[in-house]
């Protein structure tokens, strides 16, 4: 898939699952549970042990499916380059870094770039970001999102941080284009794999049944 096709697919799916764990051996099982729950866009964060190997393994495992595997917490150009060379199909950052955008542009890889202020958002878009990751969205709040969305209504915003079952529908009603979800999916009271799958299924159901503005 080309960059434009990958970016369009991420935007149409509206949901990026964030895999972050301190135990590398759990990564493959978490991803499989997410996939079984219906999620197709998955990022593995750079602060997960062995994340480059796990990107390569997951990319290979799901190469014949429509599952996309990307890298998250890409805070600098070195991580971006290593992740892409390991097979990452998209990048996600928590920060606004034009050097990371340059790497993504060089390799023709889509990127969801973290930004908070209008200046950061416009910088990200001007340098080629496909999606703006509003982070930490929960701390900023829906009213803040509405304020920045009003003059920047052509930007595709994904809310990340502090989003869960209690507020996801409010964000959709406010005009958000999508989400990045971590612990809301991967933390489960019951058996880990089954709980992650059920969380994924619940979010996918909400996503599919909601009336999206953007």
Distance, CA of 69 to CA of 189 (rounded, Å): 26
Active-site annotation holder among 43, 54, 197, 207? 43
The verdict on whether 59 is a catalytic residue reads no
CA 66 from chain centre, in angstroms, equals: 16
Could you say which of 11, 40, 59, 133 is catalytic? 133
Helix 27-36 vs helix 51-61: crossing angle, to nearest 10: 40
Q: Which helix (H) or strand (E) holds 181?
A: strand 178-181
198 classed as catalytic = no
The alpha carbon torsion through 187, 90, 52, 183 (nearest 10 deg) reads: -10
Minimal CA–CA distance to 182: which of 3, 8, 47?
47
- Contact in structure between 200 and 38 (CB atoms under 8 Å): yes
Catalytic residues: 43, 133
């Amino acid at each position: 898939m080309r960059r434009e096709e990958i970016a369009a697919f991420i935007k149409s799916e509206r949901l990026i699952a964030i895999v972050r764990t301190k135990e590398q051996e759990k990564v493959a099982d978490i991803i499989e549970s997410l996939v079984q729950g219906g999620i197709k866009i998955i990022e593995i964060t750079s602060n997960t042990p062995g994340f480059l190997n796990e990107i390569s393994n997951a990319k290979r495992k799901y190469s014949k499916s429509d599952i996309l595997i990307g890298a998250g917490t890409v805070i600098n150009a070195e991580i971006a380059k290593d992740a892409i060379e390991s097979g990452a199909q998209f990048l996600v950052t928590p920060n606004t870094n034009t050097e990371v955008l340059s790497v993504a542009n060089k390799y023709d890889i889509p990127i969801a770039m973290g930004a908070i202020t209008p200046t950061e958002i416009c910088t990200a878009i001007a340098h080629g970001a496909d999606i703006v990751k509003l982070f930490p969205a929960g701390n900023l709040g829906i009213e803040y999102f509405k304020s920045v969305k009003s003059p920047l209504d052509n930007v595709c915003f994904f809310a990340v941080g502090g989003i869960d079952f209690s507020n996801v529908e409010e964000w959709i009603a406010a005009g958000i284009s999508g989400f990045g979800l971590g612990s809301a999916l991967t933390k489960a009271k019951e058996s880990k794999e089954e709980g992650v799958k059920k969380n994924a299924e619940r979010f996918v159901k909400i996503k599919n049944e909601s009336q999206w503005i953007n």
